[in-house]
Structure 1
Amino acid sequence: MAAANRTPPPTRPTAVLVDASSIGSFLPSAFDRLGVDVVHVRSTIAGTGLAAYRPSLLCADPAATAARLAALDPIAVGAGQEPGVPLADELSERLGLPTNGTALSAARRDKFEMTEALRRAGVRCAEQVRASNAPEAVAWAESRGAYPVVVKPLASSGTDGVEICADADQVRDAAETVLRSRTVYGEPNTAVLVQSYLAGTEYVVDMVCCRGARYTCGVWRSQKRLLGTRNAYDLELLVAPDEDVVADLIPYVGSALDALGIDHGPAHAEVIVTPDGPTLIEAGARLASHLDPGFHDECLGGNQAALTALAYTSPETFLRDRAGRRYTRLLAAGVYATPTTQDGVVARIDWTVVKQIENLPGVYGVLLKLREGDRIRPTVDLRTSTMRVYLRAETDEAMMRDYRLVQDLKDHVFQLS
């Protein structure tokens, strides 16, 4: 294990975060506000935005890393991104800290193992097969005698490589595409997952867990658009906590997290409400990918990063104030992943248009996903959307009015060469 720098022994408590760049970058400030320092441990993925971490360590051997971390007397170990989940499980277990444990680590990363864990626990789930080649995938789909089916990587995210297939040829093409590609985290796809298609409305359910008790941070209804054989995110809408569907989703997701052994830290679940009831697409032991702490504070009265830090730092306070409860809906809210049909190279960004979008009364903030010189391609999934726009207003009508205005402006932001 190599250290980026050496520091004197901490004078404040220390928490350890594994692979916590990207969305995990919201955690250091959340811990800092509670008087806790953070140490970053990197497994194999490179990370950006690590300046907030006191030391940043590279783990070559979990046992040696755990011994090194023990000298800091940490109070918690958690994962910031999906690839960090297994190492966070192992380090927390070795250190005798609150842990989801290693027994079900594979089920928290591998989507086939995830669904099988639900099946063993008697939790409603999809039919599926794990195939090592395209002919195996096609044979299973044909044996079912029912289309569509869904083809996807075993351990990616953000709709990466997810295809809805209506026949054997589409299954073959999708499986071959997955098997010759890598995940969004750079990991090779050595097998492909084929599952029964779940018909219904999709919801996102975000929770924070502490000693098996849970607080529901938010429930969002996913409005998607079918782009060829891919179902791409468009708009996620905050659901009122007293809607009937929320009362169905919370216990179902709780049962799914129990089956996956997620008792500590954040959880992000994607669920389809089918005619038979809620059914899991996937769950992650991590923060929600659309998290913006300030936006969530304004719309929901709290955010998942701050509540995660609270659960690890002061579990008794979390259990007293949050366990078994759910969010409030202070404002109508939505997160818009802007699609595009543009194809080329971004010559310049029209900041006048960006400012025009930001000045709309219902827009909380805008995250540009492209820079000058980047390639822009027609949107086929979440990764190829061009911006993330956070919307909130006093009423749904006002928010949707500004959503439609952003739709009109979005393709004027990026000027092509």
Structure 2
Amino acid sequence: MNRTVAIVDGYSTGNFLLPAFARLGVEAVHVQSTPELIAPLAPPRLAAYRENLVCADPGTTARELARHRPLAVLAGAEFGVRLADELSERLGLMTNGTRLSAARRDKFLMIEALRGAGIRCARQHRSADPEELRAWAEREGVHPVVVKPISSSGADNVHICRDGDAIVRAARAVMSARDLFQQPNTEALAQSYLDGTEYVVDMACSQGERYVCAVWEYRKRDIGCGRRIYDRDVLLDPGQDPVPELVAYVDTVLEALDIRHGAVHAEVIMTASGPVLVEVAARLNGGLNAGFQELCLGIDQAAATALAYARPGEFRRRYGGRTYTKLIEAFVHDTTTALDGIVEGVDEAVVEQITALPTVRDLTVKYRPGRRVRPTVDLPSSPLTVYMADADPAALEADYKAIGELKERVYRLTGPGPGE
């Protein structure tokens, strides 16, 4: 029996796939889609893989992979989705296929696929000309407008624009930058603003049967200049509104985009007209903490995904068509900072004060000495991620406030301070 999988671009939370497969007795080969590792992302743990194949072209890589006789090829991170689709299709394995692969990465094509399937979605326009985006918004009467990159992640360079001048400024900012994966933004995407609360729906799928791993409510805060940033992801009870409606909507999205295998991370806004997709990704939640999810839910998304590929029959018997059980009140808190400077060190005493709070289950300190800390404008520039769970909601709120008083003391900086 073949006990090997191939993971394409196992960055960031893709690292949780390795131990998840290992627990099922499955080894892994890594496929690197770029000549060099993508520097800003948490790197794959290459030493833990059987081999690392650097892809020069998919045909050659498919032949190299065939030597390992993998039972599956899957994406470890967003950037690996299209190559994973192509390699799995070439090798005749479980695959979402290449027919709609571009629409699973390109946000414009994604929404147009939904529109073609008659699914409620945003109005949108893409262009390399900021003035064309302004003209579209004025012609269509679309205000406010969200301007963002075509294929990035993590609220990277997302702007809420309330007039034509703001649209032009935002589009220029997008196209003067690289996306989160260090690819140049050659166009900007303008979409109608979706007014409502945003939610995350995470799933794992096997042969079209899905398990809902978790539904989280995004609670954000305004920081001005058309930017809203993540503050807390709150775990919802599976039976409470609007969870069933969100899940039913995402089911239609998966069908429209032909996502039948692997992990799913969907972001959906509940508007007055009903759920509307922000975007969906055929990979793990980028904020996944496997141990924390196991505590809160009994099984984490990486473990469910590994089971879906390694033991698809067992996955469908145990989880197919079902929804998670919430075991405890929980949220994930992404802190903000007003600080600006170079990290000289981390005050471990303050870190210990935070981790000693009764509801804190884990803490990620994102910056190490030598890194630049800037005022928070998006998820990548959040300096700390705190995983919190407790049976008592009041205890969670108390510790959330305590973290707010401690967070700016975690880093010792040299250089400018707040407002300088």
Q: TM-score range by the shorter chain?
A: over 0.9
1:394 maps to amino acid: A
Any conservation in 1 of the 2:2–2:70 contact (CA below 8 Å)? no
Q: Which residue of 2 aligns with 1:230?
A: 227
**Match runs of 1:13-412 below 5 Å:** 13-44=3-34, 46=37, 48=43, 49-228=45-224, 229-412=226-409
Any conservation in 2 of the 1:21–1:50 contact (CA below 8 Å)? no
Query: Match of 1:178, SS?
Result: helix
* Displacement of 1:406: 0.9
Query: Match of 2:397, SS?
Result: helix
* Displacement of 1:305: 0.4
Counterpart CA distance in 2 for 1:374 and 1:269 is 31
* Displacement of 1:395: 2.1
Any conservation in 2 of the 1:133–1:179 contact (CA below 8 Å)? no
1:244 maps to amino acid: D
Query: Match of 2:48, SS?
Result: coil
Any conservation in 2 of the 1:14–1:36 contact (CA below 8 Å)? yes
Q: Which residue of 2 aligns with 1:8?
A: none
Counterpart CA distance in 2 for 1:159 and 1:76 is 30
Query: Match of 1:129, SS?
Result: strand
Q: Percent identity between the aligned chains? A: 52
Query: Match of 2:337, SS?
Result: coil
2:337 maps to amino acid: T
* Displacement of 1:50: 2.0
TM-score, with structure 1 as normaliser:
0.96
Cα deviation code 1:154-208 (max 9, x no counterpart): 0000000100001111100000111111101011111110000000000000000
Q: Which 4+ runs in 1 deviate beyond 3 A?
A: none
Count of matched residue pairs = 407
Counterpart CA distance in 1 for 2:289 and 2:47 is 19
Cα deviation code 1:194-233 (max 9, x no counterpart): 0000000000000001101100000000000112211111
Counterpart CA distance in 1 for 2:176 and 2:239 is 45
Cα deviation code 1:307-341 (max 9, x no counterpart): 10000000000110101111111111100110011
Any conservation in 2 of the 1:223–1:236 contact (CA below 8 Å)? yes
Counterpart CA distance in 1 for 2:48 and 2:118 is 42
Query: Match of 1:384, SS?
Result: coil
Any conservation in 2 of the 1:209–1:263 contact (CA below 8 Å)? yes
* Displacement of 1:65: 1.1
The RMSD of aligned alpha carbons is 1.0
Cα deviation code 1:118-153 (max 9, x no counterpart): 001111100000112111111111112242110000
* Displacement of 1:13: 1.1
